[in-house]
Every structure is written in structure tokens, then in C-alpha cells.
Amino acid sequence: MRIGIVGGSLGGLFAAALLHADGHEVHVYERAAGGLVGRGAGLVAQHEIFEVLRRLGTESVARVGVIAYERIVLARDGSVTSTEPTPQMQVSWDGLYRALLAHVPGGGYHMGDAVIGVEQSANEAFIALASGQRRSFDCVIGADGIGSVVRSLVTPTQRDNHYAGYVAWRGLLPEADVPTHAASALFERFAFYFEPGSQMLGYLVPGPSGEIAPARRRYNWVWYRQVPGAAGLRRTLTDAEGREHPYSLGRGEVPAEDREALYKAARESLPPPFRAVVEAEPTPFVQAIFDHESSRMASGRIALLGDAAFVVRPHTAMGAAKAAGDAMTLVAALRRLPVRDALVAYEAERLPVGRRVSAYGRQLGESLQPA
């Protein structure tokens, strides 16, 4: 079949690589002009990701990463209040992206032309591109994330994401930029700090090209903080040029006064090691936390996959694994059934999974939501 995939991040690439391996003609449409290399940090390679890579013959990609040998919780003064010996490996997001992209045939990954609409007839599905072009397919998969265009066709009365009342401030530092005292407390560990309405965590991840040797890695930190109300969220997501963004601000977009306010808050409320890594990050970025739970994942010849169907909170560390599971189920259904029947079967199997992961994420983030 000829299959169109809207969204060229990991979810779209899981599906594209598996569908191409099954002999389908696959076209992926990613709106970013330069692709997505360099956008990610590290992720937990759970079972579903290993399984996709095993089916593609590249399982080794998910076996090279940075290991945190224990989980620790810090007190306000920087002392360790608890330790749990639970090793966990963070693999390179970029390495995984590149490995999957290599399984999409040349000319099958289209960048810089956003999909602005999706339609379907009894026998075909269509995408409309910002350039004015229109493309037809036997099936279209919406893997276009939190701002999904495809979602509006599958669930036209249920398109919005629901703000959870807090945001994730983030930093990603070259290992060499982490102050020595912070490195000795945090490296080789998955570290946490909890206070009412706030949570800080951090861990080492591979370098930008997948480097895992000491001095070549990066330190990834995430600080969840409450920002109550729509007005507060709009203020937080207004960039240095005064433009409002719907979901996040990237590197270099955070206004100087907001960056300084973040450093001040870190000095006032975080343990010394975490305070140091926040202040060492010259270009922090911020992501608002949303929920979205679709009542459907398919309609006719069009399916939703990953965050286009269920936006789950990052506390779960299951977003990529959920997308990989979606992709495997969808490909297996298309292998044994006609398109429309396959998408019905796919929806029936994956809706309960998405609901479970969503509920788990809300449970983990409950203490962070404003009263």
C-alpha cells in the first residue's frame, strides 16, 4: 500500500520503518525544515523500543547508553535522604532517531512542508500541504504530536489539550560545564528533590552524537513548577520577542527576566547540587504539561498514533514506548486485514493502553497540580 505519515519524530519513524520493512510505500511529512536531529536528549529504552529495533535488525542501538546506577532523593541541604539501587540506562534520542530514519527509503522523508489538512473518501485518504500540494494514500497515520492536525478529523469535537497547571523547566549541559561539587553528588545517579508543588530531577545522558564516554556526556535536568491559570501559562510561554507559544519555549526563546527569575528561585529553594546545574544552564527552556485522551484512534482510513492520540505526562517515561507499541500493533493489523478493518482492530487494542498510561501519568503528577 501507499501510506502517508504526518509527523517525522520517533512515533512516525517507528511506523514508517516497520511499514517499509513490510513492503509498503511510505511517505513521512515533517514540518521542521532541517529535520529533528539535535532536538532530543536521552530516553529510557523500554521493552517496546527494543522490540521495534529487534524487528528492524538494529537492536544494538538501544543497548548503548549512560547508566544511572542508583536513584537518590536529596534533602534541601544537599544530603541524601534515600538511596535505591535500581540501575537505569538512558539511550541517545538522536541515535535512535538516526537509526530509524535510516530505515526510511530515500525520498520518503519530506521536510519543511507542513501538513495543514486531512480528508478521506471511501477508497483514499488525502493530505493537504502548506505549499498547496495535495497527496493521496491508501491510509494516513497522524503521528503529529500534541498539536496534531490529523486529530481534528478523527475526533472533531475533542481536539483540545488540557493544561495540568504546571510546567517543566529544562536544561541540558555538557558534562564539563557542571560544577565539580554538583558532579560529585549527581553523576552516575538518577537524582530527585521534592517539595510542595515542585519536583526536580536530573541524570546523565549521551552526548549530542551519542557519546557515552566520561567528559563527552551531557547532564539533563528537569524542574517541575506550578504556573496556575491560563494567564500565568500565557505569560510563561511568551518569548523574548513578545510572541505567545502554545506549548513550549525552546533554547534562546526565554526572556532574560524569566531566566533570571528561574536562577533566583533555584537559589532560594533547591539543594546546592541542583541549584548549581540550573545556574550553569545559559539557555533554559520550558515545556507546559498537558493531558489529552482521545475517545477514538481511527476513522475510516485515518489513524492516530503516539501523542496525537494520548498526550501523557513525562513523569511516566513511557511516551516513546507507547508510540512504539502503537506502531507495532498498527503494522500487525494492516498485515492481516483490509485497511478499514485493520484500523478498527488497532483502535480496540491500543485505546485501553493509552488510557492506562494517561491515568498513571496523572497519578504521578497529582502532587504538582495547583489545588
Q: Is 317 left (phi over 0), alpha (psi -120 to 50) or beta?
A: left
pLDDT at 106: 83
Would you identify the CATH topology of the domain 65-91+162-289?
A: D-Amino Acid Oxidase; Chain A, domain 2 (3.30.9)
Residue 126 CB-half CA count within 13 A? 12
Instruction: Give CA 295 to chain center in angstroms.
Output: 21
pLDDT at 66: 92
- C-alpha closest to that of 182 among 276, 72, 71: 276
List of residues 6+ apart from 365 with CB closer than 8 A: 164, 166, 224, 289, 313, 315
pLDDT at 45: 76
Rounded to 5 degrees, φ, ψ at 302 are -125, 135
Q: Which CA distances in Å does 249 have to 241, 359, 371?
A: 12, 26, 25
Cβ atoms of 279 and 266 closer than 8 Å: yes
Q: Which CA distances in Å does 203 have to 46, 134, 211, 273, 322?
A: 17, 44, 15, 12, 22
Residue-range domain boundaries for the chain:
2-63+94-161+290-368, 65-91+162-289
pLDDT at 351: 97
> For 2-63+94-161+290-368, which CATH class?
alpha beta
Looking only at the bridges linking them, the beta strands covering 134-137 and 139-142 are unpaired
Catalogue the E-assigned strands of 35-188. Answer: 42-44, 65-68, 70-74, 80-84, 88-92, 109-111, 115-120, 125-129, 134-137, 139-142, 162-174
* Cell representation of residue 294: 482521545
The Cα–Cα gap between 126 and 134 comes to 7
The three-state secondary structure class of 69 is coil
The Cα–Cα gap between 232 and 238 comes to 10
The Cα–Cα gap between 156 and 70 comes to 45
Beta bridge partners of 189: 70
Cβ atoms of 303 and 11 closer than 8 Å: no
Q: Is 53 left (phi over 0), alpha (psi -120 to 50) or beta?
A: alpha
Beta bridge partners of 248: 287
Q: How many CB atoms lie within 10 A of CB 40?
A: 19
* Cell representation of residue 84: 535505591
What pTM did the predictor assign? 0.93
Q: Which helix (H) or strand (E) holds 198?
A: strand 198-205
- Chunked mean pLDDT (size 10), the chain, 371 residues: 96 97 96 74 85 91 87 97 92 89 92 94 96 96 96 89 96 96 96 96 91 93 96 97 95 96 97 98 96 96 97 92 97 97 98 96 92 77
- C-alpha closest to that of 142 among 7, 272, 288: 7
DSSP state of 360: H
pLDDT at 175: 95
pLDDT at 38: 63
The Cα–Cα gap between 148 and 225 comes to 26
The Cα–Cα gap between 284 and 159 comes to 29
pLDDT at 93: 87
The Cα–Cα gap between 342 and 352 comes to 17
For the chain, first and last CA: distance in Å?
50
Q: Residue written as cell 521542521?
A: 32
Q: Residue written as cell 497515520?
A: 141
The Cα–Cα gap between 143 and 162 comes to 19
